[in-house]
Structures are given as structure tokens and as C-alpha cells.
Amino acid sequence: MDLGIADKRVLVTGASQGIGRAIALALAREGCRIAAVARGEERLREAVEAMGGRKAGHEYVAADLMEEGAPKRVARRLLERGGPVEIVVHNVGGTLEARDPLAPVEDWARVWRFNVGIAIEMNAVLIPPMQERGWGRVIHVSSLAAEQLRGCGPYGAAKAYLNAYTKVLGRAVAPTGVVVTAIMPGAVLAEGGHWDWVQRQKPAVLADYLRHHQATGRLGTPEEIAPFAVFLASQQVTFAQGSVVPVDGGTM
């Protein structure tokens, strides 16, 4: 199948490791030109080199998107120095260790900003040019926690908000040729991620989770999530506005 995205310019946030890195590499293999954003410059540089480097049209921006005004600054910088961004993959997110449902509202707001607010700020800059050109793809990496609401309450609630935002935004921009979607990964083993920590520190907890909640009996990999993001970035999803796609290995 020809996905029709060769030479498209793509922004991937959280692209230095895990799911974001796997998505960026997969899109690069489709001939896209990747602008990778994350905090750690060394990992970013390694990821971009793995894609083929600047000579292949790839670039990176090391930035902490949680800083005030940073999402808009990064988005505008990319538009100014490289032209249109045609595909955006929002992969920034996490629990920020806010686990208590009775946590201060400031903690809830911080988790919301990490998982939702950054995407909203960047979309406000990046989507209008897509609408003007009549084509664009915006993919949010959500989480199955949005539906299960187990574990960290603020994180699950933020991802549920992200799913609702995806649907609302997707419907609003649908007539303009911009398709907004989300994917909901389940339990994925990625270096430095939650399940990496559980596997190393609490193997009995992992074994219990896999036995009772994972139909496949194993954790997923970033490389198993990436193809779904690539397809949602393609020319083939013209009837998928606002779609939220679970990719969870049969989580129960």
C-alpha cells in the first residue's frame, strides 16, 4: 500500500526514546522528513542519525516543552526555518509521579499540561497552515489508562481529556482536509518507561499483571505501536476524523 507521505515534513515530540523514537524512525522509513523534539540533546542526535541525519532532511530541536511558552516557540521556529509541518505526532506525556486523587490541584494541572496542554498549544500554531493548504495529519499518543482509569488518577483523567479533545478538534477541522486522531497504547515496555521500572523493581507485580490483565501474556513494544501512527499519518485515513484507536494486546 502506498501511504502517500513521502517527503512530508513531520514533527514528532518525545522523539528521543520509546514510542516516539519508534514512530519517528518508522515515518523516516516511509520517506518523511522528521523534525524530532525532546529534552535530551544527545539521545535526539542519536535518533536523528539513525534516521539518516540532516543529509536525509531530518533535524532536531532540544527543548523542554513544559516551560512556559515553549510549545508555541518551538512550533513557530520550525515553521519559520523549514516551512510547513504537514504531520504532527504528539508523544509527550507521563504521570509525573502524581498518584493521589486528592493531590493538590496544581499537581493535576501539571499532569494535564504535560499530557494535553502542550499539544493544544502547538496545534494552535501548526493546524491553521494545514487548513490553508487543505491537508494535514495530527496524531496524539494517548493511553489505555484513559478508559481503564487504573493506577495514577491524574494521568488517566488527562488522557481521557486528550481523547475528548481529539474528537472535538477532529470534528471541527474535518471539512478542511485535516485529520486529527489518537492512538491508545496499552502496556508497552520501553527503556526508561513505567513498565521498564516495574520489570526491574517489581517483577512479581509484572507477572501478576500479565497473568490477569494481558491476553497476550506479554508487554508490547514501541515497534508494535509505531505502524498504527504511520497509517494514521497516511493518505488513507480521510474518513477517520476524531478516531481514537486502541493498540493494547487485548488488555482486560
Per the listing, cell 496545534 goes with 123
CB atoms within 10 A of CB 217: 9
Q: Which residues of 169-181 are buried (b: 16+ CB within 10 A; e: fewer)?
A: bbeebbebebbbb
C-alpha cell recorded at residue 207: 507477572
Please say if 155 is a catalytic residue. yes
* Cα angle 116, 189, 30; round to 5: 70
Provide the H-helix boundaries in 105-221: 105-112, 118-133, 145-148, 153-173, 194-201, 203-213
From the candidates 60, 155, 161, 165, give the one annotated as an active-site residue. Answer: 155
Order across the sheet with 178-185: list the strands: 59-62, 33-38, 9-13, 87-90, 136-141, 178-185, 244-247
C-alpha cell at 245: 484507536
- Sequence-distant (6+) residues with CB within 8 A of 226 are 19, 22, 23, 25, 26
**Within a 10 A sphere around the Cβ of 168, how many other Cβ atoms?**
12
Contact (Cβ atoms closer than 8 angstroms) between residue 79 and residue 85: yes
Burial class (CB in 10 A: 0-12, 13-18, 19+), 194: middle
Q: Would you please indicate which residues are annotated as catalytic (active-site) residues?
A: 155
